[in-house]
């Protein structure tokens, strides 16, 4: 059994209909879903955070970090 989970739920995650954790029988399926979710959140959420995936044993954890402000 493989799990996709998120480290912290920022406001955007809390407002979305995304639910964590998600479980999968297949490792590749779990990895694909984690990467797909991180890409979706990076493209569609507020841009104040950046989401990335790290594999930790049988869990693909989505981490949240503050995005660097752009320099003009």
In a domain, 30, yes or no: yes
pLDDT at 72: 45
pLDDT per position as a tens digit, 9-27: 888 889 998 999 999 999 9
Range of the domain at 13: 2-66
Structural domain contains residue 71: no
Give the Cα separation of 45 and 37 in Å (integer). 11
64, 36 in Cβ contact below 8 A? no
The pTM for the full model equals: 0.86
Contacts of residue 15, Cβ cutoff 8 Å, sequence gap at least 6: none
The reply to whether 72 falls in a domain is: no
Mean pLDDT in residue range 26-39: 98
């Amino acid at each position: 059994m493989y799990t996709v989970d998120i480290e912290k739920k920022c406001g955007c995650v809390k407002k979305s209909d995304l639910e964590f954790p998600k479980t999968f029988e297949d490792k590749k399926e779990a990895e694909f879903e984690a990467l797909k979710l991180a890409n979706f959140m990076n493209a569609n959420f507020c841009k104040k955070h950046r989401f990335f995936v790290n594999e930790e044993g049988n869990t693909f954890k989505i981490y949240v970090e503050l995005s660097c402000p752009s320099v003009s």
